């Protein structure tokens, strides 16, 4: 069934809009996925800020070119779905990795694009193992808070040592005056 020129332009526009919002994308083969499975994938991705779109390769190439993205020619063949990471590609890649483990024969990562570079499936798996933005924020908070808590502990320790010295002096002075 042929697609009208208007529909093609509409699809390129949709892909372009998705590309403008993303920090990277993952290309996956989705042969044999049911509507329910695609719906579940979209739900999982939306929970981490991702989007899944079934694409027409030639139209997606046009959108990539129009938006200045690297065109991963060797990945754009066969039935493809594109997972867009909207600000948190590691979390999106983790969600995709979970789906590939659930549906290994149906949903296969081919590769992706991040920061102007084309990645293969193994490299996308490595991206999935990177910490998410929330994990990075927690680590940074820990790094910032740790010195402050160490300083507070040091000050408390120093204060208690001064108090102990003063108490010893008072006890010694009190014992001297009682002896006299």
pLDDT, one tens digit per residue, over 134-167 is 777 777 777 777 676 776 676 677 677 766 777 7
**Domain regions of the chain by residue span:** 5-130, 132-180
- Measured distance CA(29)–CA(75) in Å, rounded: 9
At 52 the pLDDT is: 94
Looking up tokens 């989007």, which residue turns up?
Answer: 51
Is CATH 2.60.120.10 the classification given to domain 5-130? no
- The tens digit of pLDDT for each residue in 49-73 reads 899 999 999 999 999 999 999 989 8
Dihedral of CA 16/73/34/90: which sign? Answer: negative
CA diameter of the chain = 113
pTM over 0.85: no
CB 17 within 8 A of CB 67: no
CB within 8 A of 16, min separation 6: which ones? 63, 66, 67
Task: Report residue 8 CA to chain centroid gap.
Answer: 31
Mean pLDDT for 96-102 is 91
- Measured distance CA(121)–CA(104) in Å, rounded: 13
- Measured distance CA(95)–CA(117) in Å, rounded: 21
Looking up tokens 């994990």, which residue turns up?
Answer: 135
Q: Which of 27, 29, 107, 31 lies closest to 72 in space, CA to CA?
A: 27
Helices and strands, number each (H, E), in the chain: 6, 5
Kindly report the length of the chain.
180
At 127 the pLDDT is: 76
- Measured distance CA(80)–CA(69) in Å, rounded: 17
């Amino acid at each position: 069934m042929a697609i009208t020129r208007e529909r093609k332009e509409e699809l390129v526009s949709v892909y372009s809009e998705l590309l403008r919002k993303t920090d990277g994308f993952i290309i996956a083969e989705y042969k044999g996925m049911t509507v329910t499975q695609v719906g579940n994938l979209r739900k999982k991705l939306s929970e981490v800020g991702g989007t899944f779109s079934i694409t027409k390769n030639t139209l997606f190439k046009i959108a990539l070119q129009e938006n200045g993205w690297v065109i991963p020619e060797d990945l754009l063949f066969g039935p493809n779905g594109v997972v867009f990471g909207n600000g948190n590609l590691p979390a999106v890649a983790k969600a995709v990795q979970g789906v590939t483990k659930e549906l290994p024969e149906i949903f296969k990562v081919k590769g992706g694009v991040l920061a102007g570079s084309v990645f293969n499936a193994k490299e996308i798996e490595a991206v999935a193992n990177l910490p998410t933005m929330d994990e990075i924020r927690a680590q940074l908070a820990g790094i910032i808070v740790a010195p402050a808590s160490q300083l507070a502990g040091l000050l408390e320790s120093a204060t208690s040592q001064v108090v102990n010295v003063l108490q010893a002096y008072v006890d010694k002075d009190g014992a001297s005056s009682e002896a006299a």
